[in-house]
Structure 1
Amino acid sequence: MKNIKIMMLIFLLSFVSNSIFAHALWIETKSTGNVGQKQVVKVFYGEFVSNERDSVDKWYSDVNEFSLWLVGPDQKKTQIAVVPGVNFFEGAFTPVQSGAYTVMVSHEAKELGGLTKYHFLSSANIVVGKVLPTATQNTNVLKLHVDAVLTAKVNKMVQVKSFLNDQVAKGKTVAVFTPSGWSKELKTNDYGVVEFEPLWAGRYVIEISDMDKTAGKHHGKDFNATWRGATYSFEVK
């Protein structure tokens, strides 16, 4: 009986861990903006590909206590205040000059999943005018970037760059989630790049994951690995 209980506990912990791993944090905002006009930014948690957006009171651990940050053309990093909705948090900023803007989240969940620490990251770009965003504007430790965010179109190849600790992320799994509910996994090449051809117009969310086997302590508890999941959201015309 004791062995059965232990096996059931292991199964439940595995189920919880896999459920957390499947969920992601992502940002939704328009890819373009205008000087002097409010730009709305929404942050969701759940599974984009299945249109599953969790209620904010059911987000894992303390993920709903994240901070939303903005880096503008002047490279200054400022925090955007957010307010909760039913299944998202909403913030806004008003561009004061033309150029590229990056909004981002980086939050390490307080709770461990077994002996694993979970680090949720997300970013999106807004272009005001014609200056394209650069990856260096995003200060997250794990990140994705699309140079041609303004020209992403159906049936036109999109190149996605990935970075870990500001170095190209080789051999990482990247998942592409489409507005139709279809998804595909790709592997980054030696330059940290994946390419895909969008078949539908609408919002796409791309996710990259990394497992760091470095052990440590987090809020007084031992962990032996850190899972990082970073998403990048943009629109295809």
Structure 2
Amino acid sequence: MKRNILLIVIAFFLHTSSLFAHALWIETNTTGKAGQKQTIKIIYSEPNDKPEKIADWYSDVKEFTLWLTGPDKQKVKLATTAADDHFTSEFTPEKDGVYTITVSHTAKELGGKTKYQFNASAIVAVGKSLAGNDPALNTNDISVFSDASKAYKVNKPFQLTGFFKEKPSEKLHVAVHSPSGWNKEISTNAQGVAEFTPIWVGKYSIEASKSEKEEGEHNGKNYTSVWRCATLLVDVK
């Protein structure tokens, strides 16, 4: 009997660990042109891994809402279309500037006594205007910002800023995953800045996370902690 209980507990923790290594990711070109359609894909997976089929997404994560904030600071909801293992969306930028795409979704179900929140963002630079190149346009509880005015290159220090409750935040855990499979874990400093030096060309997956003790009720169930993550894809040339 004790052995069966132990096996059940081990299986639960293995399942939970695997489950919450997943995150939402927004895939789109980081540059665009005014008047030209910009396509977007939203997936749920581990970094650089095969997307999970929508039918297998945790809880109600597939019921997320996708938002677009333009350089004029106007925020609009984007329609999404479901496929087998991802959602698609699109928008057509009307003017030059920086566009911010965001998702923030708190899962309906708890993981044990923990509430899980999935955040994702993408930054699209259109033309040479830097209007909208502002981390304040991402109002998610936790977010990662990369400056659209900077070109990120191999063997050059790459700085990201992590925000929590819209303020630069210290000691956010940041996981960096390169397209080659090279991974690195860093933390934000007192100014919310985390830095690494990329050594391969390609798209890097950035995931910041924070866990904290907090008590409350969520969908009729009590929770004692909250886990939040934020993802961003950046291009290194």
TM-score by length of 2: 0.95
Distance 1:38 1:151 in 2: 23
Q: Deviations over 1:60-103 (max 9, x none)?
A: 11111111100001111111111112221110000011111000
Are residues 149 and 198 of structure 1, via their aligned partners in 2, closer, same or farther at CA, if it must alter by over 3 Å? farther
TM-score by length of 1: 0.95
Q: Deviations over 1:92-139 (max 9, x none)?
A: 000011111000100001111111111000001001112332111111
C-alpha deviation, 1:232, in angstroms: 1.1
Write the letter of the residue equivalent to 2:184. Answer: K
Write the letter of the residue equivalent to 1:90. Answer: T
Secondary structure in structure 1 of the residue aligned to 2:31? coil
- Within the candidate set 56, 64, 67, 2:65 is matched to 67
What root-mean-square deviation, in Å, do the aligned CA atoms of Structure 1 and Structure 2 show?
A: 1.3
Q: Contact 2:125–2:148 (CA<8 Å) still a contact in 1?
A: no
Are residues 72 and 91 of structure 1, via their aligned partners in 2, closer, same or farther at CA, if it must alter by over 3 Å? same
Q: Contact 1:110–1:219 (CA<8 Å) still a contact in 2?
A: yes
Identity, % of aligned positions: 45
Secondary structure in structure 1 of the residue aligned to 2:153? coil
Write the letter of the residue equivalent to 2:51. Answer: R
Q: Contact 2:123–2:148 (CA<8 Å) still a contact in 1?
A: no
Q: Contact 1:154–1:201 (CA<8 Å) still a contact in 2?
A: yes
Are residues 32 and 150 of structure 1, via their aligned partners in 2, closer, same or farther at CA, if it must alter by over 3 Å? farther
C-alpha deviation, 1:150, in angstroms: 5.0
Are residues 98 and 148 of structure 1, via their aligned partners in 2, closer, same or farther at CA, if it must alter by over 3 Å? closer
Distance 1:138 1:84 in 2: 24
Distance 1:74 1:111 in 2: 36
Q: Which residue of 1 aligns with 2:21?
A: 22
The 5 A counterparts of 1:114-133 are 114-132=112-130, 133=133
C-alpha deviation, 1:164, in angstroms: 0.3
- What residue ranges of structure 2 are gaps of 5+ in the alignment? none
The count of residues paired between Structure 1 and Structure 2 equals: 235
Q: Which residue of 1 aligns with 2:56?
A: 58
Distance 1:218 1:84 in 2: 27
Secondary structure in structure 2 of the residue aligned to 1:213? strand
Distance 1:234 1:82 in 2: 22
2:208 pairs with 1:198: no
Q: Which residue of 2 aligns with 1:217?
A: 217
2:180 pairs with 1:180: yes
Q: Contact 2:159–2:194 (CA<8 Å) still a contact in 1?
A: yes
Distance 1:30 1:149 in 2: 16
